Amino acid sequence: MKVAITSQGPELRSQTDPRFGRAAWVIIIDPATKEFEAVDNSVNVNAFKGAGIQAATLIADKGADVLMTGHCGPNAFNTLNAAGVKVVNGITGTVEETLEKFIAGGAEYASDANVEGHAGQNR
Amino acid sequence: MIISIASGKGGTGKTTVAANLALSLQDSGLVEDFNLLDCDVEEPNLHLFLDPGVVTETEITTFVPVVDQEKCTGCRKCVDICRFAALTFVRDKVLVFPALCHSCGGCQLVCEFGAIGDDSRSLGVVESGVVNGHAIHSGRIRIGEAMSPPLIKAVRRHEKEAELTIIDAPPGTSCPVIAAMRGADFVLLVTEPTPFGLHDLQLAVEAVKVLGIPAGLVINRADLGDSRVQEYAEREGLEILMQIPFERRFAEAYSRGQSIVDVSPEWREKFQRLYVRIAGIVEAKAS
């Protein structure tokens, strides 16, 4: 199992990043072994549009089962949902603290996006 | 001939000038046949001053991709070519986000397996009617739609239907304005003598230069503010074709949906002269 956590830096003691699509880094961790990979998300930070969709695809490609972030918009949520990635919103503190909470069973999965979309919505 | 009325800054009087020009050309003998296009599709308002009454609506749509998952091999070429992230690939499936699509058709071109079919997204409607025997076509964008240039182009398909077309352009200097100015024979810029009016006029003038279209200036509420707009126009060689004073009766007429020429018939001749001068500039450029 793998958990993806949005982060402001590439380490476990880095502060989490409340943004999803435009988070600086995504830390992909195996909670059992605490082995992790820090994925540089700078391409999506500067994305013209659709940063959430791209970041969601990246996380799905990395094989994450759960995403833990601050805010997740509707397009990103739908992409994660299609990829079978569960979403935990509203995280705070460091990556390590967030992971501990997850291991302790303190994670609540979201059933919907928790923020409004930007321009890429509705037709 | 196509005259596009633009401004840079919003609220300077584009629609006022468009409506007055149309009313003044009515039965003037100067032009047989003209039509009006409201290309300010995010907030069309020309119909408030030239009311066609009954209109027919034509829905305008744009291409968005639909994926045949049976034919899709998962090569991701469509995902890679889309710079707007309108397509992505997760769990062996292409997902489409139609609202992000800019209708370039790149995904269809690169798909070697014919897996990308045609779907559509509504952009809005064109409302067509007749005022005093002249056609008026107004674009009205769908609420929530972000992409207006294709709708503006749909409105402009009517410009070949008359000898003279008067376009009421949107404010600003971005893509929608360019869509409403490109290909016009003349851009009539309307501004006001305020710092914002001057600033945005300068941007609009630069845009018109890039497009290579002859332009002239109408200064509305000309007796307000200072003379910096006049000085700028002189430096730029931008001809001031008309100055409309800030008059209470004009503002009152506007608030009732009336035009300047309705309350002040002597302005009819001034707008006719404005048209004659524009026609002269366009003709001089053509020869």
How far does Cα B154 stand from its chain's mean position? 11
Distance from CA of A77 to the nearest CA of B (A): 12
How far is it, in rounded angstroms, from Cα A19 to Cα A40? Answer: 14
Residue A42 lies in a domain: yes
A67: domain CATH number is 3.30.420.130
> CB A82 to CB B95 under 8 A?
yes
B90-111 pLDDT, tens digit per residue, is 988 999 999 999 999 999 999 9
Query: Which residues in chain B are contacts of A51 at CB distance < 8 A?
Result: 85
B119 to chain A: nearest residue by CA?
A: A123
How far does Cα A47 stand from its chain's mean position? 16
Cα distances (angstroms) measured from residue B111 to each of B72, B78, B86, B120, B164: 9, 6, 15, 18, 44
- Is the per-residue pLDDT at A122 higher than 60? no
Query: Which residues in chain A are contacts of B89 at CB distance < 8 A?
Result: 57
- The closest CB to that of A57, out of B83, B86, B89, belongs to B89
- The closest CB to that of B100, out of A49, A56, A78, belongs to A49
Comparison of pLDDT for A121 and A110, the residue scoring more:
A110
**The pairing of beta strand B239-244 with beta strand B2-6:** unpaired
What average pLDDT does the segment B194-222 reach? 97
pLDDT, position A116: 76
- The closest CB to that of B85, out of A49, A60, A78, belongs to A49
pLDDT, position A54: 93
pLDDT, position B193: 96
- Is the per-residue pLDDT at A123 higher than 60? no
How far is it, in rounded angstroms, from Cα B126 to Cα B152? Answer: 9
pLDDT, position A121: 64
> Which residue, among A41, A44, A53, would best test binding to B if mutated, counting the most B CBs under 10 Å from its CB?
A53
Element (H, E) at B286: helix B266-286
- Is the per-residue pLDDT at B141 higher than 80? yes
- Is the per-residue pLDDT at A120 higher than 80? no
Where would I find the beta strands (DSSP E) of B7-55?
34-38
- The closest CB to that of A60, out of B64, B84, B90, belongs to B90
How far is it, in rounded angstroms, from Cα A64 to Cα B281? Answer: 66
Interface residues of A toward B, Cβ cutoff 8 Å, are: 47-51, 53-54, 56-57, 60-61, 75, 78-79, 82-84, 119-123
Q: Which structural domain range is residue A95 located in?
A: 3-103
> Which residue, among B90, B120, B148, would best test binding to A if mutated, counting the most A CBs under 10 Å from its CB?
B90
B256-271 pLDDT, tens digit per residue, is 999 999 999 999 999 9
B66-88 pLDDT, tens digit per residue, is 999 999 999 999 999 998 999 99
Query: Which residues in chain B are contacts of A61 at CB distance < 8 A?
Result: 90
> CB B84 to CB A50 under 8 A?
yes
Residue A67 lies in a domain: yes
Which bin fits B95, alpha (ψ -120 to 50), beta or left (φ > 0)? beta
What DSSP line would sit under B198-222, residue for residue? HHHHHHHHHHHHHHT--EEEEEETT
**Range in A1-15, A108-122, B264-278 with the lowest mean pLDDT:** A108-122
A20-31 pLDDT, tens digit per residue, is 999 999 999 999
**Main-chain dihedrals φ then ψ at residue B116, nearest 5 degrees:** -105, 115
Closest CA to B124 of B150, B102, B104, B100: B150
**Cβ contact B247:B224 at 8 Å:** no
Residue A28 lies in a domain: yes
Count of structural domains within chain A: 1
Residue A79 lies in a domain: yes
- Quote ipTM for the complex: 0.82
What DSSP line would sit under A79-100, residue for residue? HHHHTT-EEE----SBHHHHHH
Residue A89 lies in a domain: yes
B148-200 pLDDT, tens digit per residue, is 999 999 999 999 999 999 999 999 999 999 999 999 999 999 999 999 999 99
Query: Which residues in chain B are contacts of A47 at CB distance < 8 A?
Result: 85
B116-135 pLDDT, tens digit per residue, is 999 999 999 999 999 999 99
Query: Which residues in chain A are contacts of B96 at CB distance < 8 A?
Result: none
- The closest CB to that of A84, out of B64, B91, B98, belongs to B91
Where would I find the beta strands (DSSP E) of B71-192?
87-90, 93-96, 116-131, 134-141, 164-168, 186-191
pLDDT, position A14: 97
**Cβ contact B278:B241 at 8 Å:** yes
> CB A79 to CB B89 under 8 A?
no
> CB A53 to CB B88 under 8 A?
yes
**Cβ contact A32:A52 at 8 Å:** no
Distance from CA of A22 to the nearest CA of B (A): 14
Residue A116 lies in a domain: no
Query: Which residues in chain B are contacts of A83 at CB distance < 8 A?
Result: 90-91
How far is it, in rounded angstroms, from Cα B204 to Cα B90? Answer: 44
> CB B84 to CB A121 under 8 A?
no
Residue A59 lies in a domain: yes
Residue A31 lies in a domain: yes
Amino acid B16 reads: T
Give ∠ CA A90-A94-A95 in degrees, rounded to 5.
85
Average of per-residue pLDDT values in chain A: 91
**Cβ contact B216:B188 at 8 Å:** yes
**Main-chain dihedrals φ then ψ at residue A7, nearest 5 degrees:** -140, 155
